[in-house]
Chains A and B, each alone.
Chain A
Amino acid sequence: MAEAAVSFKNITKTFGEVVANRDVTFDVKKGEILALLGENGSGKTTLMNMLSGIYYPDHGSIEVNGEEVTIRSPKDAFALGIGMVHQHFKLVDVFTAVENTVLGLTRKQEKYSLKAAARRMKDICDKYGFEIEPKKKIYNMSVSEKQTLEIVKVLYRGAEILVLDEPTAVLTPQETEKLFNVMRNMREDGKSIIIITHKLNEVMEISDRVAVLRKGEYIGTVNTADTDEHELTDMMVGRKTDLNIRRTEPTGEKPLLEIRDLVVKNDEGAVAIDGMSFYIRGGEILGVAGISGCGQKELCEAIAGLRKVYKGEINHMGDSIIGLSPKAIIEKGIAMSFIPEDRLGMGLAPSLSVTDNMMLKDYKNATLTFKEGDAEHKAKKLPAFLWPFVDRNRARKKAEEIIEELDIVTPSTETPVRRLSGGNVQKVLVGREMQAGPNVIITAYPVRGLDINSSYTIYDILNAEKEKGTGIMYVGEDLDVLLALCDKIMVICHGKLMGVVHADKTTKEEIGLMMTGALDLGAVKTEKHFGIASDTNIDEEDLAAMRQRDAQTEEEEGE
């Protein structure tokens, strides 16, 4: 039993200057379920990708069944009996379950026969308690079925070591229970399972041991039976570090943006934001903490008008903005900047110059300018249909201002944005959003991938905006930054609001517990109206309109 199925020995992996894993050493035993726990960016997925052949470690070695192995491709991993189920399913939509299962197998491995393959799939399903129809097409499958198929696919290829990357993130509690039963059956059968997860209750329920990573480093492994959620949270988030970010006192103005009972669905049609209520006051920064993929993106998109609001109300200074176009929402003064993982994905056109990108959000203000004397430019506004040209000079001036102000390193204002380094690209994006003079700023991961100095520049800009009375929602990853920068921190877990806490009165542990769903302030303090401002702008009329809309949505759903 004590024999190791997989041993990681001093694994180090860097991407450029970013260290994803540093000197990670631990074992996975045969016939055990090991939970791999860690915050975002702690290097869990990177480590597992090295096991499944997607990345190759810079230093260190991997041993499988006591022998040192070289895994250079997913094929090598398969040959060693290692199978990984990724968060993003790798399935062909128009194929049936069985077609997907045999995809990529070679003649050497087995004869091509979908009938025989379907029979073998049935055997696997019966053995471990899966339910799957081999002839069903993927596009007719639920998320849970797709995941089941991914696991069957891996088992079909004879995997003895399974890696499941956040398998429960997309499942309902009932489906999760089913999955856990299957996992226990697989353990009985002697297979080793590594499960990556953030949810502490699930770690406690399913795992035999827990290995914890923090910021790329291995913290330790504990027996699940000997530990509790508090200890694990401590290991996961670590001690608080002081960052010395300047925080000004909030001015405490009236709520600018109020969200009430908001329900938003994700691309797959599952509920991403589940009945959230909160508000942002002028002159304060509301931090949003949560494991990545817990609805942050959907929330930002819903506020910016990019995603349909399923139910509930979004109210800006007394007016509902539900159903408004993104352009109308921008005109109301709500700026949104979302920095996705690839950093270029949203908000900027990579091939256009800095100047052009400035104009993207400001095209409607085309004016005809007359020069009066040498000094002053006097703008005379003509309607757009009379004067259809954009004002490049003004945009270039703006670009120059932002470059100066934010210390952006670029050869000129006419350089395509994609040629700038990641940090500078982000500054362009954030700078443009500030330039428009918004009254509400929704910003998600604005310092993602930035170096310390650039990060502090961004914090300073946000603080300056806050002093101007702007309401800011800051979706962040680093808890230390959230604690230092924000006035209040709202914690979400799988689309549900876990609570809003004052940054100077809370602890990292408390937030950590809320992030993982172990602590729900909403459930504790039921007497107080959760997430509703005492001086709310939403009146009975708005609420009536909201209820009517929701009823209508439900009716349509029923049809």
Chain B
Amino acid sequence: MTSFVAWFTSSIVYGTVIMYGALGETLTQKSGQLNLGVPGMVYLGAFAGFAGGFMYEKTAASTNEFLLVLIPLLCGFGGGALGGLLYSLMTVVLKANQNVTGLALTFLGVGIGTFGGIYVLADAGFLSFATARETAALFNMNINAYIEAGVFGEMFLSYGFMVYAAIILAIVMFIIMRRTRVGLNLRAVGESPATADAAGINVNRYKIVASTIGGGICGLGGMVYVIMYGHGGWTTTNSIEALGWLAVALVIFSTWKPLNAIWGSYLFAFLFWFSNYFPTVTGIVLPTYAPYLLQMLPYAVTTIMIVLFNFRKKKENQPPAALGLSYFREER
């Protein structure tokens, strides 16, 4: 039982990272921008969030709890948003190919994060491991630590506020997209930019703003990974990148719907941890090659979903019609 709870809680925290990435990318893609730079933006956010918290702890004479939370939040969001802004300027203003630009952003983000990490670590006296301890403690503060509600508490109340914030963000995004004029305009831009243009909507502005905010949300995911999951410790790690790709897959899996991303992200993380926890929970010993195969599960599930959706041909489950296409106003 305890190992199942551990499986469950790891999935929630890990899933939250994926959820931020997927929500950011959903917002981006709804404007017709196919940004494959999610891993890069997550990485940028992870690094910036960590560096912000770490440097503040290190330089401030006495730390303020409010700032300890706010600085990593802003830095994480800002790091990802910069990536998103760069991407949208390249694709919207310079009309660069969206796929190529996005992939380049992935490499760029990972590169900058790793490179910057060296300096932060060097500053910390070349420790192979630098930790933003106070920040991590605040982000991991949870209700269960005070009320001790047993297994239930451990499973549902033992997380820092960013876990719940992700769910709220998904709901807010749902409401914005479905119930507001901004959401309507945004979806129109992603579905048919020519129509939106003719209706007087500033297509480029919507694309740039959506990509930038979307990038920022992706960045929050990276910040959550380092501060919450990694307990504030920075190690340049590949798993951030892997999470970024899972987020891209989740956008497709959730059929571009924020509410689906909530359960989808937890499911993805659950499947991702399958090979770790399944043997201990059930007592079944897996062959040594199994973990490598099982880590494919989220992607396999996504592939099956795509095939199923294509069979059903429901228009609402299709990607935005103009996704990945640069918009040129017709001129004679």
Contacts and interface: CB of A to CB of B under 8 A. Distances in A.
Interface stretch (A93-101, A434-442, A509-517, A551-559): A93-101
A74 B198 contact: yes
Given A99-B184, A103-B184, A94 B316 contact: yes
B196 A94 contact: no
B194 interface: yes
Q: Does more than half of chain B's interface fall in helix, strand or loop, or is it mixed?
A: helix
Contact of A94 (B180, B185, B321, B332): B321
B181 interface: yes
Interface in A62-91: 73-75, 78, 90-91
A102 interface: yes
Given A92-B187, A103-B201, A137-B315, A112 B181 contact: yes
B195 A103 contact: yes
A104 B315 contact: no
B192 A92 contact: yes
B200 A75 contact: yes
A15 interface: yes
Contacts of A93: 191-192, 315, 321
A107 interface: yes
B191 A92 contact: yes
A90 B194 contact: yes
A75 B196 CA distance: 12
Q: Does more than half of chain A's interface fall in helix, strand or loop, or is it mixed?
A: loop
B191 A104 contact: no
24 contacts: A73-B200, A90-B194, A90-B195, A92-B188, A92-B196, A93-B191, A93-B321, A94-B315, A94-B321, A95-B187, A95-B191, A102-B184, A103-B188, A103-B195, A103-B196, A103-B199, A104-B185, A104-B188, A104-B198, A104-B199, A104-B200, A105-B181, A112-B180, A137-B315
Nearest to B189: A92
A103 B196 CA distance: 7
Contacts of A99: 184
A389 interface: no
Interface of B: 180-181, 184-185, 187-188, 191-192, 194-196, 198-201, 315-316, 318, 321, 332
B180 A104 contact: no
A82 to B, nearest CB: 14
Contacts of B332: 15, 55
A474 B30 CA distance: 45
A139 interface: yes
B322 to A, nearest CB: 10
Contacts of A55: 332
B203 to A, nearest CB: 11
B106 to A, nearest CB: 27
Interface residues of A, number: 22
Contacts of B201: 103-104
Given A15-B332, A90-B195, A92-B195, A107 B181 contact: yes
Contacts, number: 59
Interface of A: 15, 55, 73-75, 78, 90-95, 99-100, 102-105, 107, 112, 137, 139
A75 to B, nearest CB: 5
A93 B318 CA distance: 12
A91 B188 CA distance: 9
Contacts of B192: 90-93
Given A103-B196, A104-B196, A104-B200, A94 B181 contact: no
A297 to B, nearest CB: 19
Contact of A95 (B188, B198, B200, B318): B188
A137 B187 CA distance: 14
A227 B195 CA distance: 39
Given A75-B200, A104-B200, 6 more contacts: A92-B188, A92-B195, A94-B191, A103-B199, A107-B181, A139-B315
A88 to B, nearest CB: 9
Given A15-B332, A90-B198, A112-B180, A103 B185 contact: yes
A100 B321 CA distance: 15
A90 B203 CA distance: 15
B97 to A, nearest CB: 14
A502 to B, nearest CB: 37
Contacts of B188: 92, 95, 103-104
A378 B74 CA distance: 74
Nearest to A88: B194
Contacts of A103: 184-185, 188, 195-196, 199, 201
